[in-house]
Structure 1
Amino acid sequence: MTISAEPTTQAPPPANDRGYALAVYALYALGFFTVITTVIGLIIAYVKASTGSDLWRSHFQFQIRTFWIGLLYFIVGFALLYFFIGAFIILWWTIWTLVRIIKGAILLHDQRPIATPSSWLFG
């Protein structure tokens, strides 16, 4: 029997960031009532986006893009409220955000990645 002097290195198991991704979706949903929770969710998504497996990384990328694209929709809608079209853009932003949060949470529950996390629509 030979004993190897070399230490065996095993790759650490991939991190399960499901709880973080779920927390971000929840914070985004609360963001309709308190804006600060959305910013906290964005920070968590940025921090965890580089460390997770492909499954979780797709959710974090989706969440980050949800924030920035949603902010763009909201600013444009707010700026155009004077011309009344802004109300429709704000309504679109609300529906769009809710669909992305709900779809992401469902896929997260099923432990499935977002198919196209860089999508401007619903992923």
Structure 2
Amino acid sequence: MNERQAQNDRAIAKHGSGPDTTLPIVVYVLHLAGIITGGLTSLVGVVIAYVYRGNGPAWLDEHYRYQIRTFWIALLYFGISGLLTLVLIGFLTWLAAVVWLVLRCVKGLKTLNEHRAPDHVDTWWV
């Protein structure tokens, strides 16, 4: 991010007229609903994140990046859990993946509400 973009982001945040955060909130909720729908709503959410990333300030783009990474990492975690159900440990790893997903979405929603980028976007953990 260049200095001019950072100054624009700070000016927008200072005046309280920041970008609309409705779509990122919807994507987080779709990720959470994916727990119940078997990931179908998460798929819709990641498509929205791919379409809208790059269209806002840097901190908002980081949320879209965070949401995209959350989708792909969750897909891996739940896929591994599905395979591990054959040896019965998959139920525990599935529960751990659900907790991971909920924590990650709550963290993202919290920082989105503060109009800042999520911390540690590149992590595989929370």
* TM-score scaled by length of structure 2: 0.80
Say whether residues 1:59 and 2:42 are aligned partners.
Answer: no
CA distance in 2, matches of 1:53, 1:83: 46
RMSD: 1.7
Query: In the alignment, which residue of structure 2 is the partner of 1:121?
Result: 125
1:1-123 superposed matches below 5 A = 16-34=19-37, 35-122=39-126
Q: Is the 8 Å Cα contact of residues 62 and 114 (structure 1) preserved in structure 2?
A: yes
Report which of the two structures shows the higher radius of gyration computed on alpha carbons: 1
Aligned length: 110
Cα offset, 1:30, TM superposition: 1.4
Structure 1, unaligned runs of 5 or more: 1-10
Cα offset, 1:50, TM superposition: 2.1
Cα offset, 1:97, TM superposition: 0.2
CA deviation map 1:44-81 (0-9, x unaligned): 10011122211101111110011000000001111011
Q: Is the 8 Å Cα contact of residues 17 and 56 (structure 1) preserved in structure 2?
A: no
Structure 2, unaligned runs of 5 or more: 1-7, 13-17
Structure 1 residue runs of 4+, over 6 Å off? Answer: none
Question: Partner amino acid for 1:89?
Answer: T
Structure (1/2) with the larger helix percentage: 2
CA distance in 2, matches of 1:45, 1:101: 14
Question: Partner amino acid for 1:57?
Answer: D
* TM-score scaled by length of structure 1: 0.82
Aligned to 1:80, the other structure's residue is in SS state helix
Identical positions, percent: 33
